[in-house]
Structure 1
Amino acid sequence: MASKEPFHVTDPETLRAMAHPLRQRIMVEINVREHARAADLAKALGVPANTISFHLRVLAKHRFIEEAPELARDKRDRVWRPVVERFVVDRTLAGAERALDPYLRWLRDMFLRDRTAPEVQSDFHEGTTAGAFLTRAEAEEMTAEVFAVMERWWDKTSAAKRADPDDPERKFYQVLYAVGPRDLAGGPTADDEPA
């Protein structure tokens, strides 16, 4: 079982290792399954097994995963298990924003997606913005509530995924949450104002 304590990314090499979107997705899948072979992950993610094997070795080098030889069928069989469930990036690290880039690209795509396209209509997609007038204490309370809901759904759906890892109806849905005071930075410019 992976550690619940966040893994602190404090060096550029480890940052590059975990910033790759496929590696992030591999980490999600291996955490849910609790252990997996490259072939299992290749099937689940629709990526060639040799590509998955390469990324597994990179993740292992940086201590995100480790081999589980006791789960192997023979000496050639490589089974991997997660070492960490979550990671935290040192914000002062040069290039720290790279860890967020795949998430932000996905979020931008969610908001700009053509919801009338046939491939989009088959799945649920929702992008929205909302706000509230909060004190700092209220923002902290709301954040704790949101995280509790997300944890409950992670636990519930992870159990279902482990029970049937190849269920084609069960897909990975991303949820991003950010809360903070909003100012006009990045808002309208003088050119946007009415004459």
Structure 2
Amino acid sequence: MSDASATPDHDAEVDVDAERMLRVAQGDQQALREIIEHWQGPLINFFYRSLRSVEASEDLAQTVFIRIYRAADRYQPTAKFSTYLFHIARRILINEYRRQSRKPLDAVDPAELHASTPGTDKIRMMELEEAFAQAVENLPENQRSAILLLKQQQLSYEEIAKALDASESAVKSWIHRARQKLKEELADFYQPE
């Protein structure tokens, strides 16, 4: 009987953010603070993997919270809250890509990285991080979003499909292609010149 009573408690925990969102719709500011507190880090990480800027990632996370606050009265918990949240985050990220495509990105001089970091292991790790970030950035948007939602946010294929407005088979295909492309990119990075 203890197993049966554990299931509803677990389900309640899973949907706690959806419940909070319904409270936000009723004007509960504490519920909004709880959502922000719970999701700020994961959202910043999601944006950072694509943008590689903490400042821009924080700004976009703030934009997500503003959007969900403004949409609270229309919110319907038809899927997990994380699916709803990352669907909005993805749209905001797409808009940011469009905005950035109109202006050049800041470049970092690799010599500055080497000069400020003592030790070859640390330099090697930084080079790997840079290569990985660049490889993720080079992925098509649908593949990048799918792989980041899977790895960073640990969403299921079904949840990713809902967040990206796609079929599960499309999501599986995008993730497979993203993994293959990342393997190729990183293998090229380590080949001797």
TM-score, reference length from structure 2: 0.25
Between Structure 1 and Structure 2, the one with more helix by share is 2
Q: Which has the higher contact order (CA 8 A, sep 6+)?
A: 1
Q: TM-score, normalised by structure 1?
A: 0.25
> Which structure features the higher share of strand residues?
1
